[in-house]
């Protein structure tokens, strides 16, 4: 059985490795996901992860296990994906400054036609930011490939006063929830972690 991560995100690759899962393949979904605009953020990320998993699993061998995820930031009743420009990144950060928002990640696991899709939600609170601080952070380039225009695992940690919920979910993969889903497919992440440690 091959384990396939349907994402090219280095953060998701790292988190999957922290779960004791090694030797997995990277096959990012290439099609454009088509969400329904009326979906809530929770349903949106579930649908997007489901579409990614379906695309990649359609071209896998029987028994292969596919993991797909999608993350968005929800604030002011709207959804923030990845910024399309430095100007848009600055606008997103201005919106998040001094207030709380929610990070949603949907995750889908598929094998042999069986699919499980769930989501995780984490509340994140930003400190108040000056325009100079926002400009300096945008100048690092870090916001450009991240939902909500920040990376909590990088320089963006300087912006975050606190979180309520799963930290890994904010990075891009709800590790605890994914571990529970994988156990339903016969993959024991904790046992894999133990084997990994014993081998070193």
Tens-digit pLDDT profile for residues 161-188: 999 999 999 999 999 999 999 999 999 8
pTM over 0.85: yes
Indicate the domain borders of the chain.
3-199
Place of tokens 């002011």: 76
Full 3-state SS string of 13-78: HHHHHHCCCCCCEECCCCCCCCCCCCCCHHHHHHHHHHHHHHHHHCCCCCCCEEEEEEEEEEECCE
Is CATH 3.90.950.10 correct for 3-199?
yes
Average pLDDT in the 98-124 region? 97
Determine the Cα–Cα distance for residues 25 and 3; give it in Å rounded to an integer.
6
How far does the chain reach from its first CA to its final CA, in angstroms?
23
Determine the Cα–Cα distance for residues 160 and 155; give it in Å rounded to an integer.
10
Residue 111, pLDDT score: 96
pLDDT-based confidence at residue 102 (cuts at 50, 70, 90): very high
Tens-digit pLDDT profile for residues 24-76: 999 998 866 666 778 999 999 999 999 999 999 999 998 999 999 999 999 98
- Find the helix or strand (DSSP H, E) in which 90 lies: helix 86-96
Q: Which two tokens stand for residue 60?
A: 């896998």
Q: How many CA within 13 A on the CB side of residue 18?
A: 13
Residue 198 CB neighbour total at 10 angstroms: 7
Determine the Cα–Cα distance for residues 38 and 148; give it in Å rounded to an integer.
20
The residue that leads in pLDDT, 153 or 192, is 153
**Residues annotated catalytic, as ranges:** 70
Place of tokens 């990994």: 196
Residue 19, pLDDT score: 93
Determine the Cα–Cα distance for residues 158 and 70; give it in Å rounded to an integer.
24
* Length of the chain in terms of residues written: 200
Tens-digit pLDDT profile for residues 116-146: 999 999 999 999 999 999 999 999 999 999 9
46: which strand partners? none
């Amino acid at each position: 059985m091959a384990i396939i991560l349907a994402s090219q995100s280095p953060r998701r690759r790292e988190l999957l490795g922290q779960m004791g899962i090694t030797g997995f393949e990277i096959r990012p979904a290439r099609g454009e996901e088509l969400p329904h605009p009326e979906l809530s953020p929770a349903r949106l990320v579930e649908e997007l992860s489901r579409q990614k998993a379906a695309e990649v699993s359609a071209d896998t061998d029987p028994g292969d296990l596919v993991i797909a995820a999608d993350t968005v930031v929800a604030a002011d009743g709207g959804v923030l994906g990845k910024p399309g420009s430095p100007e848009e990144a600055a606008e997103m950060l201005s919106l998040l400054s001094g207030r709380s928002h929610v990070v949603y990640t949907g995750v889908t696991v598929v094998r042999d036609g069986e699919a499980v899709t769930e989501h995780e939600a984490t509340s994140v609170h930003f400190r108040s930011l000056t325009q100079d601080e926002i400009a300096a952070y945008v100048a690092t380039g870090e916001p450009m490939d991240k939902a909500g225009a920040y990376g909590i695992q990088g320089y963006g940690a300087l912006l975050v006063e606190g979180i309520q919920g799963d930290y890994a979910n904010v990075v891009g993969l709800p590790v605890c929830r994914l571990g529970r889903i994988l156990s339903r497919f016969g993959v024991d992440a904790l046992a894999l972690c133990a084997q990994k440690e014993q081998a070193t």
